[in-house]
Homo-oligomer: A and B are copies of this chain.
Amino acid sequence: MKYLNYKIALLLTCLTQFSFAETGYRLWLRYDKIENQALLEKYSSQIKSINFEGNSATNLVAKKEILMAINGLLGKQVPFVSTNSASLIIGTPQSSSIIKAIINSDDLPKTADGFLIKSLAFNGEQKIMISATNDKGVLYGVFHFIRLMQANIPLVSLNISETPAIKNRILNHWDNLDGTVERGYAGSSLWEWHKLPGFTPTRYTDYARANASVGINGTVLNNVNTNALSLTVPYLLKTAALAKVFRPYGIKVYLSARFSAPIEIGGLKTADPLDPQVKQWWIDKTKEIYQYIPDFGGFLVKANSEGQPGPQNYGRNHADGANMLADALAPYGGIVMWRAFVYDDKVPDDRAKQAYSEFKTLDGKFKPNVLVQIKNGAIDFQPREPFHPLFGAMPATPVMMEFQLTQEYLGFSTHLAYLGTMFKEVLAADTYAKGEGSTVAKVISGKLDNHQLTAIAGVANIGSDLNWCGHPFAQANWYTFGRLAWNPEFSAGQLAEEWISLTFTNDKTAISGIKKMMMGSREAIVNYMTPLGLHHIMAQNHHYGPGPWVNDAGRDDWTSVYYHKADNVGIGFNRTATGSNAVAQYFPAVADQFGDVKQVPQKYLLWFHRIKWTDKLSSGSTLWDELVKHYYEGVKSVDSMQLTWVTMKGKIDEDRHQEVTQLLKIQHEEAKWWRDACLLYFQSFSKLPLPAGYEKPEHDLTYYQNLKFSFVPGIKN
Contact = CB atoms under 8 A, between A and B. Distances in A.
Interface of A: 1-5, 8-9, 11-12, 15-16, 19-23, 25-26, 29-32, 49, 51-52, 63-64, 67-69, 71-72, 75-77, 79-83, 85, 177-179, 187-188, 192-195, 198-203, 205-206, 229, 412-414, 464-467, 655-656, 658-659, 662-663, 665-666, 669, 710-713, 717
Given A1-B83, A4-B81, A194-B713, 16 more contacts: A1-B85, A4-B82, A8-B64, A20-B29, A21-B205, A23-B25, A23-B203, A187-B187, A194-B711, A195-B413, A195-B666, A198-B666, A199-B414, A199-B662, A202-B658, A203-B466
A605 B413 CA distance: 55
Nearest to A20: B26
B202 A23 contact: yes
Contact of A80 (B4, B52, B188, B669): B4
Contact of A72 (B3, B19, B81): B19
B4 A662 contact: no
Contact of A25 (B83, B466, B658): B466
Contacts of A665: 198
A80 B3 contact: yes
Q: Quick one: which of A22, A194, A465, A656 has the most chain B CB within 10 A?
A: A194
Given A23-B203, A188-B187, A229 B710 contact: yes
Query: Of A30, A49, A201, A710, which is in contact with the most chain B CB atoms at under 10 Å from its CB?
Result: A201
Contact of A199 (B52, B666, B711): B666
Contacts of A1: 49, 79, 81, 83, 85
Contact of A662 (B16, B20, B30, B198): B198
6 contacts: A19-B26, A19-B68, A20-B206, A23-B25, A188-B188, A199-B662
A179 to B, nearest CB: 7
Contacts of A29: 20
Nearest to A709: B194
A202 B5 contact: no
Contact of A20 (B8, B25, B83, B414): B25
A656 B178 CA distance: 26
Nearest to A188: B188
A2 B53 CA distance: 13
- Centre residue among A21, A658, A669 by max chain B CB count within 10 A: A21
Contact of A711 (B81, B179, B206, B465): B179
The 9 closest A-B pairs by CB, nearest first: A19-B72, A19-B31, A198-B666, A4-B80, A188-B188, A21-B202, A202-B655, A464-B464, A178-B717
A88 to B, nearest CB: 13
Contacts of A51: 4
A325 to B, nearest CB: 24
A177 to B, nearest CB: 5
A11 B67 contact: yes
A315 to B, nearest CB: 32
A15 B662 contact: no
Nearest to A235: B710
A229 B83 CA distance: 69
Contacts of A85: 1
B11 A64 contact: yes
A213 to B, nearest CB: 12
A76 B717 CA distance: 50
A537 to B, nearest CB: 21
Contacts of A68: 15, 19-20
B198 A663 contact: yes
A464 B187 contact: yes
Contacts of A413: 195
A76 B199 CA distance: 38
Contacts of A188: 179, 187-188, 464
A584 to B, nearest CB: 42
Contacts of A662: 198-200
Contacts of A80: 3-5, 8-9
A199 B16 CA distance: 27
A207 B53 CA distance: 44
A595 B103 CA distance: 85
Nearest to A714: B194
Nearest to A77: B12
A456 B206 CA distance: 38
A69 B15 CA distance: 9
A188 B663 CA distance: 21
B710 A22 contact: no
B22 A30 contact: no
A666 B192 CA distance: 14
A226 to B, nearest CB: 13
